[in-house]
Amino acid sequence: MPPCRQWPCFPPPRWPGFAPPLTYARAKGATVYHLCGSYRMGGDGAPVTPELRLRGIDGLRVADASVMPRIVSANTNATTMIIAAEAAAMMLGHLPPVEVR
CA angle centred on 67, ends 64 and 54, rounded to 5°: 95
**Distance between CA atoms of residues 28 and 12, nearest Å:** 15
Residue 41, beta-bridge partner list = 48
Q: Which of 10, 24, 34, 76 is catalytic?
A: 34
Pair 67, 39: CB distance under 8 Å: yes
Per the annotation, the verdict on 94 as an active-site residue is no
Strand partners, 61: 53
Which residues, including other chains, have CB under 8 Å from residue 14's CB and lie 6 or more apart? none
Q: Which residues are catalytic?
A: 34
